[in-house]
Amino acid sequence: MNVSAIRAEHVYKVFGRRSQEAVKRLRAGKTREEVKPLGTAAVIDASFEVAKGETFVVMGLSGSGKSTLIRMLNGLLPPSSGRIEVDGADIAGVSAGELRQIRRKKISMVFQHFALLPHRTVLDNAAYPLEIQGVGAAERREKAAEALQLTGLAGWEDSLPSQLSGGMRQRVGLARALAADTDILLMDEAFSALDPLIRREMQDQLVELQATLGKTIVFITHDLNEAMYLGDRIAVMRAGRIVQIGTAEEILTHPADEYVTQFVADVDRSRVLTAGSLMRRPMVTIQAGAGPAVALRELRDGHASAGYVIDRRRVLQGSVYDDELLAAHRAGATTLEGLVHPDTTAVRVETPLSEMFAPAAEARLPLAVLDDGGRLVGVVPRVALLEAMAPSTSADSAVSAASPDDGESVLAGAAGTPGAGEATTTEGTSSAGGPIAVGRSGASEGGER
C-alpha cells in the first residue's frame, strides 16, 4: 500500500489556555467567533492527504489559518487535536529527537523573508542544512554548489546576501532547501515578497525544478493565480476551515460555495483551463480506409463540409473537404489517397487556453484535441475559447462536453470493427442547440469554429 507523504486527519489548532474546551465546542458546531472567549481557533477540522511527488497548494487570505497549518506539518506547532503524519509517522507522537531527525532528513522549509544568515556567503547559506546534519565540509559545499547551479546562482557562491537582489536571495533560500535533499518542501509565501516579474520567474523555475526532481511540495499562498499555476491540487481555506480541495480546473469550474465563486471571479482563466476541459465532440470522423463516396455520405449525414480522418487506433491522420472529395469521386477515385490534409491544426489535452488562440485564429477547422498517443479525443471550436474567457459563463457552458470520456465514447466506434470502407459520424451541438457543421473556411453552419 502506498503511503501518502503527508496526511492530516481532523486537525484543530486553538491558541489559548482553554483550547481543548474550544475544540469540543467547535466539534459540536460552534463557530470561530463563538469560541473566541476560550481561545483563537486558527485551524478547524482540517483533513487532507498529499501524495508523494505532488505540489499541494494551500490558498487563503490573511487570517485563514494557512501559515498555522504549514507550521504544524513540521512540528513547529503542535495540533490541539487531530493527527498529522509524515511518511506514516505521527508528528505529535514522536520524541523530540525523532522530530529533529524528521526535520533534518525529510522536511525542508522555504520562508517568505528568506531567513538567510547575513554573515555567511551564498554557498555557506546553501550548505547550512548539511552542516547541522554533520555532513563534511567538502561534501556539503559540493552539494550546495549543485543546488545553486539548479537555481541559477552559479558564480555567486562567494557573495553575501546583502549583495543580492530580493529574487536572488529567495533563490538562495530555495537552493538551501534543495541542498538538504529532503523529500518534502514546505514553502510559506515563498514568493510573496518579490516583484511581479521576479515572482513569475521564480514560479517558472519551481515548475521546472519540480518536473526534474519530483519533490513533495506544500506551498502556501494568498494569490489564486499563483496557486492555480503551481498546484497539482489546491486547498482553499477560509476562517480556519478548508472549504474546497481540487485541481485548478475543478475549483474554477465547480466552486464549492459563494466564497470560492467570488475568489475565482478575477482569476486568469487562460492559464488554468485546458483543451481537455473545453473540448467538444468532433462532428464527423472518417476511417482512413474509406473512399470518397463513403466520406461524402458521412459528411452529408453529419451536415458538415469537412471531417477528421483517423486510423483504426483513432490516431489523427488529417482532414478532408467535401469539394475535393466530390471531384475525386467524379474522377473515379476509390481511396482517400492525396485527399487527406495532414496539416490539420491540433493541440494536446493539457494545452492551456492561453496557447490556443493563435492556432485557432489560423485553423480552418476547430482545433483537434489529441491525447499522448496522438488519438483524437475532441475538438475545440473558436466559440468555446471565447465562452471560456467570460467570467459570467456558467461552468456547464464553459466546459460542455468537457470530459475526456465524451471524446472516448465518440470515437469508440472508430476503434472497433468498421471495415475499410466505413466511417464514423458523430454530431456535436452548437450553442444554438443544432448540429455543428464545419465548412472549409473553418466557419460552421452552426456558427462555431
Give the list of residues 6+ apart from residue 303 with CB closer than 8 angstroms, or none.
427, 435, 437, 445
The stretches in the chain having pLDDT less than 70 are 1-3, 112-114, 390-449
Say what the pLDDT of residue 219 is.
95
Q: What is the pLDDT of residue 391?
A: 58
How far, in whole angstroms, is CA 143 from its chain's centroid?
30
CA distances from 258 to 43, 246, 255, 388 (A): 21, 16, 8, 20
Q: Residue 343: its pLDDT value, please? A: 87
At 331 the pLDDT is 92
Triad 20, 22, 27: Cα angle to 5°? 95
Q: 367, 346 in Cβ contact below 8 A?
A: yes
Every domain of the chain with CATH number 3.40.50.300 lies at: 50-271
Report in angstroms the alpha-carbon separations of 83 from 7, 22, 90, 263, 394: 8, 17, 7, 29, 38
CATH for 275-425 (3.30.300.30, 3.10.580.10, 3.30.70.260, 3.90.320.10): 3.10.580.10
pLDDT given at position 2: 56
| Terminal Cα-to-Cα distance of the chain (whole angstroms) | 47
- Give the three-class secondary structure for 12: strand
DSSP summary character for residue 280: B
Query: What's the pLDDT score for residue 224?
Result: 85
Q: Which fold has domain 50-271?
A: Rossmann fold (3.40.50)
How many CB atoms lie under 10 A from the CB of residue 34? 13
Residues 449 and 140: their CA atoms lie apart, in Å, by 58
Q: Name the CA radius of gyration of the chain, rounded.
A: 27
Q: Which three cell numbers stand for residue 377?
A: 479525443
Distant-in-sequence contacts of 327-333, Cβ < 8 A, 24+ apart = 328/292, 329/291, 329/292, 329/293, 329/296, 333/291, 333/292
The segment(s) of the chain belonging to CATH 3.10.580.10 are 275-425
